[in-house]
Amino acid sequence: VPEGAPAGEYRGTLTISAAGAPERRVAVVLTVWDFALPDTPTSRTAFGIWGSCIAYAHQVKPDTRQYRELMARYYVAQLEHRISAIEPPLPLNSPEVGRYLNDPRVTAFMIPYSDDTWQMRANVDRCRKNGWLQKAYFYPVDEPSSAESYALLKERADRIHAIDRSLKVTSPFYRGPEFPTDKTVYELLDGYVNLWCPNIQYLDLQAMQAKRAKGEEVWWYPTGQIPPYPTFTLNHADGVDHRILMWMQKLYDVQGLLYWASTWWAPAVIKDVWENLATVPEIDPNIYGVGSLFYPGSKVGLAGPVGSIRLECIRDGLEDFDYLTLLERKIGAENTKAMVRRLVRGMTDYEHSPRRLQMMRRQIARLLQQA
């Protein structure tokens, strides 16, 4: 709904036609509330866009004009769903990257790590000069578990913080250290990581509260789960499972959401993701849609992405988070959390009825438009 649309009830008719089927007409009633969501989403996000999969599915070569145009279309499509990509579609030293990073819908992006400190410093200086640094973070090591990966992360974090101690460093993790130690991952990475991003199954609420008290950020990510945990796979019965995670974010004071991929189409094993969504068969052939929130439009004659229903549910969830943030400012954090608890009782115990979730969202909307 456009921000300036007058509040009220709007009615219309949707006509649906398809080859070989009778035409259907459906009555539509739309309620426009008397408040607006912020241009900048209140949940930070970082979803990966895998260019190699896009190039494969659209049959274009990397580093061509067609490839760059496709990457930009997928990037913008994510933004239109209130989701920032892990990286912009252009290098940070590109004179045109500002048209992406200046977009108020962008909440986060990664500055590439390099052993060349001069190059990293140049990227940091450019981001600071252009007002982008508050959105930026480094992601030098993924999911550390071995002694070697911890040592590498600490070495790289030291190199980053030698440029500026306040720079954000994240390293998502889904398990603890797999080497002899009497410390937890939260203790081992203290002083090196300041943007914490555990898997939703590995969230330590007490540890995260201590990190927030120090002024550090807390995100999380849902990778590899199937029911009863909420996640973004097709192994769920309804769209609430793809949306409830953002209500949990507000309940547990999680500030951001990371997801490793929206375009993972496993080109080595899947010839057509429209027909086969077992995207991680080497891990589990019975999990569907992992890392895949878009379909390549090449199958239906489009030079760009086709969004999944799950992607629409995720967008609705991010808008739910915005609703809750606005409500928090109006009635306070604890009262807002009390409302969330009507839907969320725990990480695996939550409301599955779309109707009840929508009723709660309407109740919040009525509260928000009250004087």
Confidence of residue 225 (pLDDT cuts 50, 70, 90): low
Region 179-192: what's the mean pLDDT?
A: 96
pLDDT tens digits for range 283-302: 888 899 999 999 999 999 99
Position 269 scores a pLDDT of 81
pLDDT tens digits for range 336-368: 999 999 999 999 999 999 999 999 999 999 999
Give 273's contacts (C-beta < 8 A, 6+ positions apart): 57, 265, 266, 279, 292, 295, 296
Give 320's contacts (C-beta < 8 A, 6+ positions apart): 243, 246, 247, 361
For the cut 90, the answer to whether the pLDDT of residue 169 exceeds it is yes
Query: Per mean pLDDT, which of 149-153, 234-238, 288-292 is the most reliable?
Result: 149-153
Confidence of residue 59 (pLDDT cuts 50, 70, 90): very high
For the cut 90, the answer to whether the pLDDT of residue 119 exceeds it is yes
Position 224 scores a pLDDT of 65
pTM of whole model > 0.85?
yes
CA–CA distance, 316 with 117 (Å, rounded to integer): 40
Position 223 scores a pLDDT of 75
pLDDT tens digits for range 63-86: 899 999 999 999 999 999 999 999
Position 266 scores a pLDDT of 82
Confidence of residue 270 (pLDDT cuts 50, 70, 90): confident
On whether the CB atoms of residues 239 and 309 are closer than 8 A, the answer is yes
